Structure 1
Amino acid sequence: MSTPVDDDLWSAVGDPTRRRMLDLLLTGGARTATTLSEQLPVTRQAVAKHLGVLQRAGLVHVTPSGRERRYEVDEAQLARATAQLASVGASWDARLRRIKRIAEAIERERHEPPQASAQDT
């Protein structure tokens, strides 16, 4: 079962705009909402809201710089998030392998000829 922090994480990384923002911050370093909005197809206000979601999930932190606020990826939290997402992915992979084995067993049973019982002889 997920915890609220997990829910914040999933919500944060579930949006393609926020994933793109993380990419921009990772490749270009700390940036303001205005600079990010210049590279995204959304308004500065929308960028600010997306940054708020990323900040609540702990994926970015903000540093005041004069009148500006610079956002930067929290690499330690991103590493924890990546590990958590990988763990969930591995868990689902295992579940899907079990489902596949069950489905294959059912399919084999459907196609096998019925076996003669002792009563039939």
Structure 2
Amino acid sequence: MSASKTNSKANASVSSIVSANDTPAHVFAALGDPTRLKLVAVLCAGGAFSISHLTQSTAISRQGVTKHLSVLAKAGVVSDIKIGRERLWQLQAASIDEARQTLESIGREWEMALGRLKRFVEKDD
């Protein structure tokens, strides 16, 4: 198979992974912010946490944390539950797992591409 056909096949495979479901792209975008990544790390500890608890782990205001949580919720990374007057936030592991699987698939494609490049270079020697 020619290099251009192989490259287009690999690109199509990776593209289909990302475009088949926009969730991983939204997750990556949401996790691209250091504050949101820190909030997710806190939520990974388990359980559901209130805004006041999540604010303790950061130097930003409650309103700022709420805005970051809203972005994470739209990406499907977190969800909230209301208990009385309090809203508790928890991690949605499925979306994180889906993003991890996407990265693993891209990594496999990358390893195959590097293997093809290595064989091509070594063939000419």
TM-score under structure 2 normalisation? 0.67
Q: How does 1:17-56 map to 2 (within 5 A)?
A: 17-56=35-74
| 2:121 corresponds to 1:105 | yes
Alpha-carbon distance change, 94 to 21 in structure 1, aligned in 2, over 3 angstroms: farther
Count of equivalent residues: 107
Cα displacement string for residues 73-110 of structure 1 (whole angstroms, at most 9, x for unaligned residues): 112332222222222233334445555x38x939xx7x
Alpha-carbon distance change, 90 to 17 in structure 1, aligned in 2, over 3 angstroms: farther
Q: 1:79 aligns with which of 91, 94, 97?
A: 97
AA at the equivalent of 1:48:
T
Identity of aligned residues (%): 32
Alpha-carbon distance change, 41 to 94 in structure 1, aligned in 2, over 3 angstroms: farther
Aligned counterpart, 1:14: 32
- Could you list the runs of 4 or more consecutive aligned residues of structure 1 that deviate by over 4 angstroms after TM superposition? 96-99
Determine which structure has more spread, i.e. the larger CA radius of gyration: 1
Q: 1:88 aligns with which of 106, 109, 117?
A: 106
SS at match of 2:24: helix
Aligned counterpart, 1:117: none
SS at match of 1:49: helix
5+ residue gaps, structure 1, are 113-121
5+ residue gaps, structure 2, are 1-14
Question: Which protein, 1 or 2, shows the higher relative CO under an 8 Å CA cutoff with sep ≥ 6?
Answer: 2
